[in-house]
């Protein structure tokens, strides 16, 4: 079993001394997601059919020699679902409780090709051109530096590598969601979140160098799911 908990030196994915200020937003993220983790694990997927479709679309790209990186893996459900279709997965989350649950789910399922890492994506130093896939599912809108993370994903992918994201575009509608989010941030309960439109997201991906290969056309107020490729 290569699943590992946090706080170990995990080889080439290193933490570095971030030049970001003391990381208030990420402490909040860790606290919030640790608090939510058991409920998140117990909650049924909101739209089973949509989730199954995203898994199936992703799986069309996977191959048995692939190294996959999942950022913001939560309790590991998606990593576990893809584990049989790739060689190895590194799955990262800022919440130690999410990672604990993910490790225990992998052990229960007898899956031994996922390394779960308790890390903040803002503090990752990723190797250039190493991964075949980077997945960021329901994460980008939670990251203040979401543009930077798209560039980091691009850099760590091999030529021809594939980026898969599902994210809420909070500037497309969501008016009544944004207000409580902003209030929650002001009173210190939730981390800073990013509000962007679907057009912003596409532009940032294309400017980073990605070719968009697939994009769902969801109804308003559903996550935008997309697959983008780093050119060969
Ligand atoms: C909405 S959940 C999505 C989990 C999973 N990807 C899914 O689609 O079910 C967001 C996840 O991102 C993680 N997260 C939030 N900010 C993070 C950060 N800065 N670094 C790493 N993980 C983060 C949270 O702990 C949480 O598990």
Q: What percent of the chain has pLDDT over 70?
A: 87
Higher pLDDT, 62 or 47: 62
The residue with tokens 């679907």 is: 198
Calculate how far, in angstroms, residue 209's C-alpha sits from the geometric centre of ligand 1. Answer: 25
Both structure tokens of 44: 């049924």
195-207 pLDDT, tens digit each = 999 999 999 999 9
CATH homologous superfamily of 14-229 equals: Vaccinia Virus protein VP39 (3.40.50.150)
What are the C-alpha distances in Å from 105 to residues 3, 41, 59, 112, 188?
A: 11, 10, 20, 11, 32
The DSSP code for 87 is: S
Question: Does residue 75's CB lie within 6 angstroms of at least one atom of ligand 1?
Answer: no
Q: Tell me which residue of 205, 200, 203 sits closest to 231, measured CA to CA.
A: 205
Domains of the chain, by residue range, sit at 14-229
Q: Tell me which residue of 151, 162, 164 sits closest to 224, measured CA to CA.
A: 164
Calculate how far, in angstroms, residue 33's C-alpha sits from the geometric centre of ligand 1. Answer: 8
169-197 pLDDT, tens digit each = 988 877 777 788 888 777 777 777 899 99
Question: Does residue 152's CB lie within 6 angstroms of at least one atom of ligand 1?
Answer: no
Q: Tell me which residue of 216, 195, 218, 130 sits closest to 228, measured CA to CA.
A: 216
Q: Mean pLDDT highest for which of 22-31, 57-66, 116-125?
A: 57-66
Question: Does residue 139's CB lie within 6 angstroms of at least one atom of ligand 1?
Answer: yes
Angle at CA of residue 133, ends 232 and 25, nearest 5° = 120
Q: Is the pLDDT of residue 16 over 50?
A: no
Calculate how far, in angstroms, residue 74's C-alpha sits from the geometric centre of ligand 1. Answer: 5
3-state class (DSSP) for residue 43 = coil
For the entire predicted model, the pTM comes to 0.90
What are the C-alpha distances in Å from 50 to residues 54, 136, 173, 225?
A: 6, 16, 20, 10
């Amino acid at each position: 079993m290569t699943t590992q908990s946090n706080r170990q030196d995990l080889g080439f994915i290193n933490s570095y001394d971030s030049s970001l200020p003391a990381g208030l937003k990420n402490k909040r993220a860790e606290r919030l997601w640790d608090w939510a983790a058991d409920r998140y694990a117990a909650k049924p997927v909101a739209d089973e059919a949509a989730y199954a479709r995203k898994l199936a679309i992703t799986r069309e790209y996977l191959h048995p020699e692939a190294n996959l990186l999942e950022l913001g893996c939560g309790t590991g459900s998606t990593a576990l679902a893809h584990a049989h279709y790739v060689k190895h997965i590194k799955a990262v989350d800022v919440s130690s409780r999410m990672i604990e649950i993910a490790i225990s789910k992998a052990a229960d399922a007898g899956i031994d090709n996922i390394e779960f890492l308790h890390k903040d994506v803002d503090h990752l130093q990723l190797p250039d051109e190493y991964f075949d896939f980077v997945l960021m599912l329901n994460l980008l809108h939670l990251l203040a530096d979401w543009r930077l993370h798209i560039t980091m994903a691009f850099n760590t992918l091999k030529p021809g590598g594939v980026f898969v994201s599902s994210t809420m575009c909070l500037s497309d509608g969501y008016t009544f969601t944004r207000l409580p989010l902003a209030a929650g941030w002001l009173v210190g309960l939730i981390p800073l979140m990013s509000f962007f439109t679907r057009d912003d997201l596409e532009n940032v991906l294309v400017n980073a160098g990605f070719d968009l290969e697939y994009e769902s056309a969801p109804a308003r107020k559903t996550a935008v799911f997309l697959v983008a490729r780093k050119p060969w």
